[in-house]
Structure 1
Amino acid sequence: MKYFAGLDVSLEETAICVADENGRIVKEARAASEPQALSEALRTIDLPLERVGLEACSLTAWLHDHLRDDGVNAICIESRQANAAMKTMPNKTDRNDARALAQIMRTGWYRQVHVKSRQCRLWRSLLVARRTVLNEMRSIENVVRAILREAGIKLGTLSRTAFASRVRELADADAQVAAMVEPLLAILATMLAEFVRLTKQVIDIVRKEDVCRRLMSVPGVGPITALTFRATIDRPDRFSRSRAVGAHLGLTPARYQSGETDIVGKVSRCGDELARTALYEAAHSLLVRSKKWSSLRAWGIAIAKRRGMARARIAVARKLAVILHRMWADATEFRYGKESVSAMVA
């Protein structure tokens, strides 16, 4: 007889359910959401577990790694598919969710999620921390601009380093406005210093990573994009075809087809938002800032002339995902291509 377990993980406690190959619930338990406690609970059940399923969540990777080390065949499953099965239960409880996960493991109706290595998870945490600080700095800058506009002061376009000095220069004439913006400028100064520290950590990592340095040979791809792509993909052999990477990162159009209806919509935006944003920014840099000719840039410019710059950025970002994966898998450098005679004359 084969047995399958489902673990409904919450922050403090995990509900455990074990079903046999016929779908009958044989054992249920609860344990603390800690690796040792879960391993001990599964050993106490004392049944040969074929598969143990966990729904993807913030604790999953940590628990998955430790359970695997303890010899448990732990499988992380895709959340949307798990939720579809859980909705068949009339009442949503942790116990019912664990039962649904056990049945999913039994039937094999699941999509296994790749659990990234610990190093890639740490790199991604660093990138998320850096992006969070950057977003908060932008929010505070926008608040400062709004305060100044109320006093009829327009800042215009400024670099981040010149922002504080220009604000103080313009706000000095109004003591009340100056008193309001000064605390915000002090916060910005502290955040800017920490942002620089986080960015330096990223650059130090990229300098030591051969894969990142190879990816940076692509025009428009800098340290942030290279490390983001490296941390997101983790292992290039996860994808049998490089074209699948664009869809994995949500850079391909969503499609709805039923009968005579066949609608191709906007990009799906599924997958890792951090990597998708980094590739979009790299595409913008390639199209707008890069001066060196490449067949990729020429292709993107041609799309921009036909369909607009916004669509061109998406198309180039998708192509970048494919190229970066292929370069990584084949350990090759970026190929600029051969410029045509007509392009050289133009």
Structure 2
Amino acid sequence: MVRIIEDLAGDWRRLDERVEGLSNEIEAIARQDAGCGRLMSVPGIGPIISSAMVAAIGAGDVFTKGRDFAAWLGLVPKQISTGDRTILGKISRRGNRYLRVLFVQAAWVVLIKPKSWERHGLKSWIEAAKKRLHRNVLAIALANKLARIAWSVLAHGRSFEASKFNEAIT
């Protein structure tokens, strides 16, 4: 039994080494690409999300606006409309599941680091949304916001700047 556990531990170490090697390779590729570099300036977005986004949509010219990109990811609520009444439901979950999951993870990373909110210009928005939304809904809303920001950064060829983002909010 001890030998089996030692073999499994050895397999685990080899897998950790392989994951580390692949992560380093992805990071090197992301740092070489200009679009990935700009995307990594957005809060919560690192080499994996930036390289996945560039691989999925290229320069972002497929979409006319960030809202279309967020809808393609499935980060917008389903809308049920009858007459003059509009009901917003759960997120649609259409589109690229892998990217959607990555953006939700990025949102959770941003949410668990409140000290970085002000530096990234998200403090007022997150605090206002926190008062009215459940934490899981807040994470999806922030993922939607981050996806829109990421599309804008990629499509317009500029890095994320918190000062410009703050001016847009007010």
TM-score range, shorter chain: 0.7 to 0.9
**SS of the counterpart of 1:238?**
coil
Q: RCO greater where, 1 or 2, for CA within 8 Å and sep 6 or more?
A: 2
Report how far residue 259 of structure 1 moved: 6.1
Q: Where in structure 1 are there 5+ consecutive unaligned residues?
A: 1-175, 341-346
For 2:47, the equivalent position in structure 1 comes to 223
For 2:97, the equivalent position in structure 1 comes to 273
The CA deviation string for residues 196-240 of structure 1, in whole angstroms up to 9 with x for no partner, is 111111011011111111111112211111111111212311111
Seen in structure 2, the aligned counterparts of structure 1 residues 300 and 181 have a Cα distance that, compared at 3 Å, is: farther
Q: 2:59·2:154 contact (CA, 8 Å) conserved in 1? A: no
Letter in 1 for 2:124: A
Q: Percent identity?
A: 33
| Pairing of 1:115-134 with structure 2 (within 5 A) | none
| Pairing of 1:258-269 with structure 2 (within 5 A) | 258=82, 263-269=87-93
For 1:298, the equivalent position in structure 2 comes to 124
| Pairing of 1:36-51 with structure 2 (within 5 A) | none
User: Which of 287, 310, 329 matches 2:111?
Assistant: 287
Letter in 2 for 1:299: W
Letter in 1 for 2:115: K
For 1:192, the equivalent position in structure 2 comes to 16
Letter in 2 for 1:183: D
For 1:248, the equivalent position in structure 2 comes to 72
For 2:5, the equivalent position in structure 1 comes to 181
- Pairs aligned (count): 164
> Quick check: which one's strand share is greater?
1
Letter in 1 for 2:122: L
Letter in 2 for 1:231: A
Q: 1:219·1:290 contact (CA, 8 Å) conserved in 2? A: no
Report how far residue 279 of structure 1 moved: 0.9
CA distance in 1, matches of 2:161, 2:146: 12
CA distance in 2, matches of 1:184, 1:260: 61
| Pairing of 1:161-176 with structure 2 (within 5 A) | 176=1
For 2:152, the equivalent position in structure 1 comes to 326
CA distance in 2, matches of 1:211, 1:335: 15
The CA deviation string for residues 284-316 of structure 1, in whole angstroms up to 9 with x for no partner, is 122213633133243123312321321111111
CA distance in 2, matches of 1:258, 1:179: 66
**SS of the counterpart of 2:115?**
coil
TM-score, length of structure 1 as denominator length: 0.43
CA distance in 2, matches of 1:227, 1:239: 18
CA distance in 1, matches of 2:142, 2:109: 11
Please state if 1:235 is matched with 2:54.
Answer: no
Letter in 2 for 1:318: N
For 1:314, the equivalent position in structure 2 comes to 140
The CA deviation string for residues 101-139 of structure 1, in whole angstroms up to 9 with x for no partner, is xxxxxxxxxxxxxxxxxxxxxxxxxxxxxxxxxxxxxxx
> Quick check: which one's helix share is greater?
2
Q: 2:80·2:86 contact (CA, 8 Å) conserved in 1? A: yes
Larger Rg: 1
CA distance in 1, matches of 2:11, 2:40: 33
